Amino acid sequence: MDDKVNVTFILIDGYVELHKYRYLYFVIMLTLYILIICSNSTIVYLIWSHQNLHEPMYIFIAALLINSVLFSTTTYPKLLIDFLSERQIISYSACLFQVFAYYSVGGSEFLLLAAMSYDRYVSICKPLQYQTIMTKTNVNVLLAAAWLVPACQCAVTSVLSAKKKLCYFTLKGIMCNSTFQTLHCVRSTVLNVYGLFILVNLIIFPTIFILFTYTSIFIIVYRSSREVRRKAAQTCLPHLIVLINFSCLSVYDVLLLRMGTEFPKIVRFIMTLQLLMYHPLFNPIIYGLKMKEIYKHLKSLFCKMP
């Protein structure tokens, strides 16, 4: 690889025995990608096509499932190409774009979960004000903010990184994530501080807000009747499961890798695959089976199929 190519392209060096299992990897990941698209799209279609699901809670669920498809699309197509390629490389500009898309969509996940928790908080703790607070306009504003705020903040990182000089051209992973900064000749203090700002703004603050709203909800429902507690658990539990699942995997990706913790290649490979597989696959299962109204329409849909 000559100097000109070295400056432009980065070697992706996180695959485990790719030469031996490339076709197995390809079939598995292609199958998972199709399942992710089909399962998430099915729930979104049910919400879109049934009038009784045109409520803020279900609209936020649809947005979260669309976000899951976007999250997968930031990585799966490139993985599938790499599995069948003799050389696993990516241009630095494409790497920066993948980092931007991956973290902006990941940040949107937390903001959407925060919006969902706020919707449940208003519904359970302030039921008489629900219709005036969760208006169509306010829902649209929350959705727009959930996607635009992370995109704008992550774009700054890409712009700053594009000006940095590269001295290293081997990425220890199967995708461009926070470790791409280790390729720079000099680690940027500005990028590190700004990355911490994004971490606090898009992950820590939304998580604290979610925990606050659910704590308030649990205090209210604890004093209520058994029926109220059952309904609250039915709508809140899926959100908490999704939050815990995504938060745990995000801690590994954002914190441990940025701290420079050395993991064996196979551990990095398995952990990254878990991050890419579990969350997009679990979301439609959790909401499809745990949300009573969605499950009812889902069951009806499959019963009608020949």
What pLDDT digit, counting tens, does each position of 68-127 carry?
Answer: 999 999 999 999 999 999 889 999 889 999 999 999 999 999 999 999 989 988 988 888
pLDDT of residue 270: 82
pLDDT-derived band at 248, boundaries 50, 70, 90: confident
C-alpha 25/C-alpha 31 separation (Å) is: 10
More confident residue, 115 or 179: 115
In the sheet that holds 170-171, the strands lie side by side as 89-91, 9-12, 170-171
pLDDT of residue 192: 82
Task: Share the mean pLDDT of the chain.
Answer: 84
Are residues 243 and 113 in contact, defined by beta-carbon separation less than 8 angstroms? yes
- Domains, the chain: 3-304 (1.20.1070.10)
| Residue 187 amino acid letter | R
Mean pLDDT of 258-272: 72
Query: Percentage of the chain with pLDDT > 70?
Result: 90
Please determine, for residue 1, whether its predicted confidence score (pLDDT) is greater than 50.
Answer: no
Which single residue is written with the structure tokens 């990184």?
161
Closest CA to 106 of 249, 7, 306: 249
Which H/E stretch holds residue 89?
A: strand 89-91
C-alpha 261/C-alpha 243 separation (Å) is: 24
pLDDT-derived band at 133, boundaries 50, 70, 90: very high
pLDDT-derived band at 2, boundaries 50, 70, 90: very low
Alpha-carbon distance values, 66 to 61, 69, 79, 133, 169 (Å): 9, 5, 20, 24, 34
C-alpha 265/C-alpha 293 separation (Å) is: 44
pLDDT-derived band at 255, boundaries 50, 70, 90: low
Please determine, for residue 244, whether its predicted confidence score (pLDDT) is greater than 90.
Answer: no
pLDDT of residue 4: 42
pLDDT of residue 166: 83
Q: How far is CA 220 from the centre of its chain?
A: 30
Three-state DSSP state, 170 = strand
C-alpha 66/C-alpha 87 separation (Å) is: 32
Please determine, for residue 22, whether its predicted confidence score (pLDDT) is greater than 80.
Answer: yes
pLDDT of residue 138: 94
pLDDT-derived band at 306, boundaries 50, 70, 90: low
Please determine, for residue 256, whether its predicted confidence score (pLDDT) is greater than 70.
Answer: no
Please determine, for residue 226, whether its predicted confidence score (pLDDT) is greater than 90.
Answer: no
Dig out the tokens for 31 from the structure. 């199958």
Express each pLDDT in 285-296 by its tens digit: 887 777 777 878
